[in-house]
Amino acid sequence: MSYIELHCHSAYSFLDGASQPGELVAAAVQRGHEALALTDHDSLSGSMEFAQAARTLGLKAIHGAEVTIDDGRHLTLLVRDASGWRNLCRLLTRAHAHTRDGQQRDRTEPAVALEAVLEHHDGLVCLSGCATRGVRDEPTVRRLLAGFGRDALRIELQRPLQRHDRALNRGLAGLAGRLGVPTVATGNVHAHSSERAYLQDALVAIREHTTLDASEPLRRGNHAHVLTTPQAMAARFDSDHPEAVAETARLAQTLSFDLTSDLGYRYPGAEDECASRTLAEVCRARFDERYPVGGSVCAAHNAEATARLEQELRVIDDLGLAGFFLLHRDMLELAREVEHVAVQ
């Protein structure tokens, strides 16, 4: 692996990202990426959709979020393992239930205290954040270093191809050198194609409650935030910070969490043959009530219905969902009993 994109936003970064998770995955595969991180603003809403799409197309899905701390700055948190996923979920729950001075904060402005991030660091890798709102002062970065350790902290470098970005990166690289932590390159992707970048411009104008012309200073006008090839991204940094490009691949190899298999949750009876057998017995009993032998339903129709039932049961069994259907059956039966008692 050469360059791995570790900072990417989908449409679940509301009024900022302009592409669906599946579109980002398809574009990444088409452009030669082997892995991609989804790091939406204060949200994991697109993570399962992203994971499923990536699994289908053979792309390694890396999960994370760009988290807002309560002074308005951003940190990019990447999930290394299942404990990291749990901690990121806890942090985002706190961010959306955030209070300040005993007062409930606007729910459209989630934020979490830096102390909470440090408290829930296990299983997470912290990047210092984006070029415009990242954490860049040495005292705060030293706090992050004390909490996360050198193995789980990276200074994030970006090349949005804007004025002073190279000078900013030189300063950040100097900070990383003083603290003895690696730098890592990221692209801060907000759209999967150049055409979709125009929608991102419009979303920024809507977010700022202004016109496209008036929002021009706030927009990403040069479209450097569009997902491109690993080679093109590496070329942005190679002349100044080749080590930051190499670090993307090294870091990505340590981020092993797989949302489709590592949560450990299974529906009740997912691996229990008894659940499949019980569901089949329940279905066949109701089937015999609906299609009684010798009833008005013709034999051909009965045979067709029998074949369909067997097919559905096989699909449910293959997916390990027998317990799910039995659980909902029990809930419906309980609801009928409660309704019957209430009527009496």
Structure-token pair, residue 322:
């027998």
* DSSP sequence for 14-75: TTT--S-HHHHHHHHHHTT-SEEEEEEET--TTHHHHHHHHHHHTPEEEEEEEEEBTTS-EE
344 residues of the chain, pLDDT tens digit each: 589 999 999 999 998 899 999 999 999 999 999 999 999 999 999 999 999 999 999 999 999 999 999 999 999 999 999 999 999 999 999 999 865 555 556 667 899 999 999 999 999 999 999 999 999 999 999 999 999 999 999 999 999 888 889 999 999 999 999 999 999 999 999 999 999 988 888 888 888 888 888 877 777 666 789 999 999 999 999 889 999 999 999 999 999 999 998 886 666 655 567 888 899 999 988 888 887 766 555 666 778 888 999 999 999 888 788 888 988 888 988 888 887 777 66
Cα–Cα distance, 40 to 85 (Å, whole number) = 14
Which pLDDT belongs to residue 104?
Answer: 59
Structure-token pair, residue 212:
């496209």
Cα–Cα distance, 163 to 145 (Å, whole number) = 29
Angle at 323 between CA 320 and CA 325, to 5 degrees: 100
Angle at 245 between CA 241 and CA 250, to 5 degrees: 130
Q: Cα torsion at 234, 239, 240, 241 (round to 10°)?
A: 40
Three-state DSSP state, 332? helix
Q: pTM for the complete prediction?
A: 0.79
Which pLDDT belongs to residue 50?
Answer: 97
Neighbour-count burial of 72, counting CB atoms closer than 10 A to its CB (0-12 exposed, 13-18 middle, 19+ buried): exposed
Place of tokens 């603290």: 179
Cα–Cα distance, 265 to 109 (Å, whole number) = 31
60-68/35-41 β-pairing = parallel
Tens of pLDDT, residues 126-151: 999 999 999 999 999 999 999 999 99
Cβ–Cβ < 8 Å for 247, 238: no
Tens of pLDDT, residues 56-110: 999 999 999 999 999 999 999 999 999 999 999 999 999 998 655 555 566 678 9
Cα–Cα distance, 318 to 337 (Å, whole number) = 32
Three-state DSSP state, 82? helix
